[in-house]
Structure 1
Amino acid sequence: MVLQTITPVLLCGGAGTRLWPLSRKSYPKQFALETGGRTLFQASAGRLSGGNEAIAFTAPLTVTGSDFRFIVTEQLAAAGIDPGPILIEPAPRNTAPAILAAALHLHDQDPEAIALVAPSDHAIPDEAAFQAAVARGLPALREGRLVTFGITPDRPETGYGYLELAAPAGEDPVALRRFVEKPDAARAAAMLAEGNYLWNAGIFLFRVADLLAAARAFVPDMLARVREALDEGRSDLGFLRLGESAWNGLEDLSIDYAVMEKADNLSVVPFSDGWSDLGGWDAVWREGDPDAAGVVTSDHATAIDCENSLLRSESGAVELVGIGLKNVIAVAMQDAVLVADASRAQDVKKAVAALKAKGARQAETLPRDYRPWGWYESLVIGSRFQVKRIHVHPGAALSLQSHHHRSEHWIVVEGTARVTVDDTVTLVTENQSVYIPLGAVHRMENPGKLPMVLIEVQTGSYFGEDDIIRYEDVYARGQGAKG
């Protein structure tokens, strides 16, 4: 048997609004939700590494947004996975432009390349079974076909799209008859009974040359714009930033609508060994192994006489207690709490829209803000002051910067900080502090091998993260909050 090399393409630009308040625009579910000690993103990269007797995965190619580029590298490094190429989208444009950019990039390196495209926020516990399914798709590629993966349904699900097969499902690839939109409950039950429908997992295996040929046939203008964006791309600290002018003019379109639904050379590999898109709290409840009463609880959550409910606290400072609940989802964060009827799990995104409409920061932003050097969180906010906890990774450094509207007082509580204030550089250890006058050019660094934590007290008239003037930055973020 010839060992086939496959490049995984990880898509991780989604916001995951149906898992609010855990998943938010600033830190979406693929990075925030953990299963088995790994985030969804790490688990996705993990099952697309290594291989078996038939396939060998290269380092992944990741397509993401600018705000997540350092999170991607940090989480891959923590999982012991070579990051590989990372393409930065100037703006979200759905899966078609992202996948075409990845395909063009791979084709430039190797016209015979094979890609496996997967969302980075799905749960597939049996990695070996999934890799075996990928291997089963290879014969179809040799016939010039595009392969997608269909999940054997175990319930009449209305939240997924479906794939109608041209023949009964077995283990080998089956020709696809058509894509089916998300059905109502009656139609979903009928399709489950008919037996030749699978859930659409949104995972694709193809020779990049074959996908690009289909794109030239069905969306030539989009392909040309993506080509232009790739050609205009520039290297930035190892990332490849796609060209903004061409990219921003692209239509927001999924790969299903753009290419797959129009192609007549699609095959489906059935998969029956466990899968969830974790697209809502009801899916998290199902994957959480409910007890005899149908209850799933997290640490810091307690259920008393509850049935068919999910109780989850994401903060050690918040103990969540449910009494006599039935069919309820309750999720508590430090700054927001969700309580919903379990049957309305798919409507959580409406809560995000309502919060955005009223200007609530909780709609999109977590209390903890992640940066390439570590993270910070606001502890207290007053009219003329703000208190933050700042965590700096070993060897990391904040930018050399100044502020127009605030002065700062830093107290080191863990580790040692190297602090620059104008022309003075000092080491500040635990229980020591330093004052940063308004307008002073300053920077903090962690020269040690352990995390450094400090408490920052800001005083002034404005505390927005856009009050940052950067002079030097190892992460090349430009001006503003994240650059």
Structure 2
Amino acid sequence: MFLPVIMAGGSGTRLWPLSRQLYPKQFHSLTSDRSLLQETIVRLEGLGGQQPMLVCNEEHRFLVAEQLRQIGQDDATILLEPFGRNTAPAIALAALLATHHGEDPLLLVLAADHVVADVPRFHIAIAAAVPLAEAGKLVTFGIVPDRAETGYGYIRRGDALAGGVGFAVAGFEEKPDTATAERYIATNEHFWNSGIFMFRAGRYLEELERERPDILEACRRAIDLSSRDMQFVRIDAETFASCPSESIDYAVMEKTAAAAMIPLNVGWNDIGSWSALWELEARDGDGNVLRGDVMAVASRGNLVHADDRLVTLLGVEDLVVVETRDAILIAHRGAVQDVKEIVDTIRLSGRSEHVSHRKVYRPWGHYDSIDVGERHQVKRITVKPGAKLSVQMHHHRAEHWIVVRGTAKVYRGQEIIMLSENQSTYIPLGEVHALENPGKIELELIEVQSGSYLGEDDIVRLEDRYGRT
């Protein structure tokens, strides 16, 4: 039995404007009704593994918890990084936690944002890796390439291993130029580097201690000072800050003599760009991939993703059009690898569209910023049954609440007020207050804020059931 370790960090900037800092691509439903993260976990059913361990950024903790709850994985451990330090430390944290009570499980390390078309063959490859990992190998999975791809690193296979399962690793290659990639493909000895691994937790820690003891020491201290909060394991930020940032390839896999590779030919895709999604999805007779409310006339080879409005195309070819409530991307399909430049431009201009969507998720539900002015802001707030917002106050704004659906339990100073549909209340500036949904259906209300400053950082939390005080 192995322990799946799902790496759920990353911002996925090349899929902007859908993927953003506070809601990156692994939490979106791109290829099915489930998110990429959920698909990664469901894909493991039937392999006999333990309940997974998730490694994610602190700011994504409630997104991860909610998506796990939706697929019946409520008790999975969620390891929270206060900030990213790349894959070598992240896997070290997971390995240290897995061995904390004297156990030494096999770890199957997976990224949360990959697509696998052929799940049965994926299971066969995972099963083939188990005896190698049990024998002390650090197994990586090499994707059988179908084109000369310049966007991936490559693994060069060595001699076949005893028993005919897998190969020794002869070397790792950086992302090549086109000519080099074509040469790699012609040799039949090069495979795309998938970033999927299997090894004993203890073996990885042994190799990490040999090659990068500074990383291991920082991670060990961070785990020793960690704390548990519900299903979350919070890493000590001060000690983890001293940890160098390094990938597992650079820190361990390129140096160890124990690396082995299993070929993987399963319709793998990391959806690293909108063009990759166009290649992956089923296309209509004109070569278009259309998702959402879209009409295309005399248009060919386009990808359109419409979230909120009708999008129409007329007489255009090879475009990517992505519409969200607050931003629209229009790009040539051949240029989408450079979407990160747009994101950088937005960030440098002081805007926030690279950070969050208009609709923002919280542990109690979500809110949608309907209208924003100089001294006012209007939000539609949705609170899950039984959920409660923090007990809080504001220094710079007052709030009006109007219930649209459900029942609201309002704490205002020393008062407790019950509101039903079409009823409202007022929260003066500086008043301690809280909002709770005591009902069995979702609570929806309109919040009108007014004041000199309306930022989310003007929330002084006095009490919070989600540990945010």
TM above 0.5: yes
Compared with structure 1, are the counterparts of its residues 386 and 37 closer, same or farther at alpha carbon in structure 2 (3 Å cutoff)?
A: same
* 1:41 and 2:40 are equivalent in the alignment: no
- Matched residue type, 2:391: L
Separation (CA, whole Å) in 2 of partners of 1:137 and 1:222 = 26
SS of the residue corresponding to residue 401 of structure 1 reads strand
Describe the shift of the 1:429–1:147 C-alpha distance in structure 2 as closer, same or farther (beyond 3 A). same
Report the CA distance between 1:293 and its aligned residue. 2.6
Match of 1:195 in 2: 188
For residue 110 of structure 1, report the CA deviation from its aligned partner: 4.3
Alignment equivalent of 1:160, drawn from 152, 167, 191: 152
Q: Which of 415, 437, 444 pairs up with 2:435?
A: 444
State the Cα RMSD in Å: 1.5
Tell me how far apart the structure 2 counterparts of residues 309 and 81 of structure 1 sit (CA, whole Å). Answer: 37
1:348 to 327, 330, 339: 339
Q: Assess, with a 3 A threshold, how the Cα gap between structure 1 residues 376 and 204 changes in structure 2: closer, same or farther.
A: same
Corresponding position: 1:183 with 2:183? no
Cα deviation for residue 302 of structure 1 reads: 2.0
Aligned partners of 1:393 and 1:446 also within 8 Å = yes
Shift of 1:80: 1.6
Check the 8 A contact 1:22/1:33 in 2, yes or no. Answer: no
Cα displacement (A) at 1:367 = 0.7
Aligned mates of 2:118, 2:415 — CA distance in 1: 55
Instruction: For residue 63 of structure 1, report the CA deviation from its aligned partner.
Output: 0.9
Paired residue secondary structure (1:363): coil
1:411-445 CA deviation, whole Å, 9 max, x = no partner? 11111111111111121111111111111111111
Q: Which residue in 2 is equivalent to 1:20?
A: 16
- Structure-2 residue corresponding to 1:254: 247
What's the CA shift for 1:167?
A: 4.2
Paired residue type of 2:28: A
Asked if structure 2 preserves the Cα contact closer than 8 Å seen for 1:305 and 1:325, the reply is: yes
1:399 has 2:390 as partner: yes
What is the DSSP-based 3-state SS (H/G/I as helix, E as strand, rest coil) of the residue aligned with 1:211?
helix
SS of equivalent residue, structure 2 residue 183: helix
Cα distance in 2 for residues equivalent to 1:15 and 1:246: 24
Distance 2:85 2:128 in 1: 31
Partner of residue 134, structure 1: 126
1:144 aligns with 2:136: yes
Alpha-carbon deviations, 1:115-169, whole Å to 9, x = none?
Answer: 0011101111333321221001112123211111111111111111111111479
- Residues 123 and 275 of structure 1 are in contact (CA less than 8 Å); yes or no, is this contact kept in structure 2? yes
Amino acid at match of 2:84: P
User: Does the 8 A contact of 2:153 with 2:192 survive in 1?
Assistant: yes
Secondary structure at the aligned position of 1:360 is classed as coil
**TM-superposition CA deviations, 1:309-360 (whole Å, max 9, x none):** 2111122xx2111222222111111111111111112111111001111112
Q: Which residue of 2 aligns with 1:30?
A: 26
Matches within 5 A, 1:117-128: 117-128=109-120
How many residue pairs are counted as aligned between the two chains?
468
Residue 481 of structure 1 aligns with which residue? none
Once the 2 structures are TM-superposed, how far is the Cα of residue 247 of structure 1 from its aligned partner?
A: 0.5
Contact 1:168 1:196 in 2 (8 A): no
Measure the CA separation in 1 of the matches of 2:75 and 2:90: 17
Aligned amino acid, residue 451 of structure 1: E
* Change in CA separation of 1:43 and 1:83 when aligned onto 2, cut-off 3 Å: farther
- State whether structure 2 residue 73 is matched by structure 1 residue 81: yes
Secondary structure at the counterpart of residue 109 of structure 1: coil
Secondary structure (helix, strand or coil) at the match of 2:278 reads helix
Percent identity over the alignment? Answer: 44
Structure 1 residues 230 and 347: alpha-carbon distance in aligned structure 2, compared to 1, 3 A threshold: same
Deviations 1:362-416 (A, max 9, x none): 1222111111111111101112211000011111100011111111111111111
DSSP-derived class of the 1:57 partner: coil
Deviation at 1:198, TM superposition (A): 1.0
- 1:237 aligned to 230, 242, 247, which one? 230
TM-score, length-scaled by structure 1: 0.94
Structure 1 gaps of 5+ residues are 479-483
Deviation at 1:171, TM superposition (A): 8.1
Match of residue 261, structure 2, among 262, 268, 271:
268
Alpha-carbon distance in structure 2 between the residues aligned to 1:424 and 1:82: 35
Q: Which residue of 1 aligns with 2:6?
A: 10
What is residue 112 of structure 1 aligned with on the other side? 104
Aligned to 1:217: 210
2:353 partner SS: helix
Runs of 4+ aligned residues of structure 1 deviating over 3 Å after TM superposition are 167-171
For residues 252-401 of structure 1, the aligned pairs below 5 Å read 252-315=245-308, 318-401=309-392
Aligned-partner residue type, residue 395 of structure 2:
H
Against the structure 1 CA distance between its residues 309 and 168, is the aligned structure 2 distance closer, same or farther, given a 3 Å change threshold?
farther
For the residues of structure 1 that align with 2:188 and 2:287, how far apart are their CA atoms? Answer: 28
Verify the 8 A CA contact 1:111 1:208 in the aligned structure 2.
no
5+ unaligned residues in a row in structure 2: which ranges?
A: none
